[in-house]
Amino acid sequence: MYQRLISWENLLLAYQRAAKGKRGHANVAAFEYRLEDHLWQLQRELEAQTYRPGPYASFYIHEPKRRLISAAPFRDRVVHHALCNLIEPIFERGFIHDSYANRVGKGTHRALNRAQTFARRYRYVLQCDLRQFFPSIDHAILRAILHRKIRDEGVRWLMDRILESGVGVLAEEYRMVWFPGDDLWAVHRARGLPIGNLTSQFWGNVYLNGFDHFVKRQLRCKGYVRYVDDFLLFSDDKAQLWVWKKALESRLAALRLVIHAGAQPRPVTEGFPFLGFVLFPQKRRLKRRKGIYYQRKLRALREAYARGEITFEQLTASVQGWVNHVRYGNTVGLRKAVLGSLRISRREQ
């Protein structure tokens, strides 16, 4: 398996996938300028197992919430794709149908549709999200999960190198949580997956896959949807959801994860937040702060266009992207309110 991973064909495919939509970036262009030399060097390092990941470049984003994004060097992103090309199909076969993040044929809008289908079918919903999900992912637990499926020693070696490269990257984002049986050394456990790595997104699904099966098989919850660390459980019995919540907390503790405080069952007719929208059985509203955020962003883009800092095409692309997203909700009035006041003066043109 490792020989297939480091084959020229797989590394070239990995480069193509890593570079998709980014070929205008300086680091990608520099890699492409001497593509054969860079891929050959990567192949040689991987074959000799002398490959070591480079340092991350970190920055904060503030929407939908404040997160520390850590971007690996481009050559490392090629390696991440080369690894995922081989191991994703192995794990994908074991994922449940209603896990929607970072999977082909899934995505945000299908998750919203599925959740609304359940909202029409059941009376109550338990909406949960995990505290500090990526900073909390425990390396020893994840490594054991990965190694149970992947037996090739070379692939195991590479996964371990990538895991080790993320130690400490999110240390400042993690607030220590103590679990039953912890001793003082628990604070030194290796944890955290850099948000921004392809492997991190995929391994997040791997980490919670056992939890998904617990909900479906042991709790026998038929109405369940998960997108990364946001998940919903539906039932006609409110008391049943309270019982399930306790079971969820116990199961997640084994993964060293905690549900945000305040999660409690509610009637679906009251509406419940999920993936930037508030869902009801028969309608879907954009969260208020999402609309306010885009109004501010649009104002800033308009001013940047007026100063000549961005092109009209870039301004248009932002508007089209936002409209394409919010049209999946009942947002005709919102779109008119936000875009109806948009004016481009002659001076700006």
Half-sphere exposure of 155 (CA within 13 A, CB side): 21
Q: Which residues pair with 273 in a beta bridge?
A: 278
At 58 the three-state DSSP class reads: strand
pLDDT in the model for residue 253: 96
Picking from 65, 108, 127, the residue whose alpha carbon sits closest to that of residue 329 is 108
Percent of the chain surpassing pLDDT 90: 70
Q: Which residues pair with 284 in a beta bridge?
A: 279
What CA–CA distance (Å, rounded) separates 18 from 35? 13
What span, in angstroms and rounded, lies between the C-alpha atoms of 203 and 195? Answer: 11
Q: Is the pLDDT of residue 344 over 70?
A: no
Pairing mode, if any, of strands 57-61 and 223-227? unpaired
Cα separation, 127 vs 230, whole angstroms: 8
- Across the range 103-120, mean pLDDT stands at 95
Residue 313 DSSP SS3: helix
**Which of 155, 27, 142 has the alpha carbon at shortest distance from 79?**
155
Render pLDDT for 292-314 as a digit per residue (tens, 0 to 9).
Answer: 888 888 888 888 888 888 888 88
Q: Name the token pair of 258.
A: 């905690």
pTM for the full predicted model: 0.89
Say what the pLDDT of residue 325 is: 87
**Do 190 and 139 contact (CB within 8 A), yes or no?**
yes
The Cα–Cα gap between 108 and 10 comes to 29
pLDDT, mean of residues 88-109: 94
Closest CA to 219 of 239, 241, 236, 237: 241
Q: Is the pLDDT of residue 340 over 80?
A: no
Dig out the tokens for 35 from the structure.
Answer: 């593509």
191 or 61, greater pLDDT: 191
Tell the residue number behind the tokens 């020229």, with chain if given.
Answer: 8
* Mean pLDDT taken over the chain: 91
Out of 65-69, 82-86, 160-164, 278-282, pick the least confident: 65-69
Burial 78-115 (b: 16+ CB within 10 A, else e): bbbbbbbbbbbeebeeebeebbbbbeeebebbebbebb
3-state SS, residue 327: coil
Q: What pLDDT is recorded for position 347?
A: 44
Nearest Cα residue to 193 out of 226, 169, 158, 209: 169
List of residues 6+ apart from 332 with CB closer than 8 A:
none
Distance CA 108, CA 116 (A): 12
